[in-house]
Amino acid sequence: VTFDDTAHTILLQTTRANKIFVDELNGTITISSAEEVNVNTKNVNINASENMNVNVGKNFTMQVGEQSSVSIEKDSSVSVNGNAMQNVGKDNHTYIAGDHISHIDKDTILNVGGSIKGNIMENATFETKGITTIGAQDRLYIKSNTKVDITKE
């Protein structure tokens, strides 16, 4: 244990490089471990009045036994340089108050075990630069309340 009254610091250090450093002048506490830091308790609360940064050198795993919630007051961004996968055990509901824009550089494959129903309140335009195939193994219906135009430009 090292007390430095001039620098207003306290250093608690073991022979295996485990450290607790208290810097009173700068208002910081640093905990360093040669291997692991474990916190075991019933509840953990972390409050930062400004910023919180988490940096992980390799893998990050989070497991929640019951419910999880994230609330963000302004913008949010997620960037994945490799593959991303999302698995939902039950229903998935998404509500977007503004526009939804997706940009896909390659193919999109959509496999649906049941039906697809779309309700579009205004116009819908589907265009391809190649061949477009619309097919059905049973009946194919194209319907309109006024008329159906099939044209060649």
| C-beta of residue 31 within 8 angstroms of C-beta of residue 22 | no
Q: For the whole prediction, is pTM greater than 0.85?
A: no
Annotated domain spans of the chain: 2-32
Mean of pLDDT over the chain? 94
Identify the three-state secondary structure at position 30: strand
Confidence of residue 151 (pLDDT cuts 50, 70, 90): confident
Q: Does residue 88 have a pLDDT over 90?
A: yes
Q: Does residue 17 have a pLDDT over 90?
A: no
Q: Does residue 153 have a pLDDT over 80?
A: no
| Cα 136 to Cα 127: distance, rounded to the nearest angstrom | 19
Please identify which residue in the block is written with the tokens 């009946």: 139
pLDDT confidence of residue 31 = 97
Q: How far from each other are the two terminal CA atoms of the chain, in whole angstroms?
A: 85
